[in-house]
Structure 1
Amino acid sequence: MRHIATSTAENPLVPIAARLARVRAGSGLNQGQFAERLGFPKRTYLGWERAETEPPIGMLSAVRREFGIDPDWILHGPGDIPRRHASEIDWERLQRLQEEIRRYAYQIGLEPNGAQLLDLARAVFDEAPEVEEAALSKMKQTLKALAKGKV
Structure 2
Amino acid sequence: MESERETMEFSQKLVQLRRREGLSQEQLADRLGVTRQSVSKWEGGAAMPDVGKLISLSELFGVSVDYLVKDYLEEPAREPEMDETQARRLEEKVDDLTRYVRGTVYAYDSKARILGIPLVSVRIGFSRHQRLSREHVARGIIAIGNAAVGVVAIGLISVGLISLGFLAVGMLALGAVAFGAAACGVAAMGIFALGVSAVGVYAGGVAAMGSEVAVGVAATGKIAVGQEASGTHVLLWGSGLTAGEVEAFLRTHCPDLWGPLLRILTVLGAHIH
Higher relative contact order (CA 8 A, sep 6+): 1
Scaled by the length of structure 2, what TM-score is found?
0.24
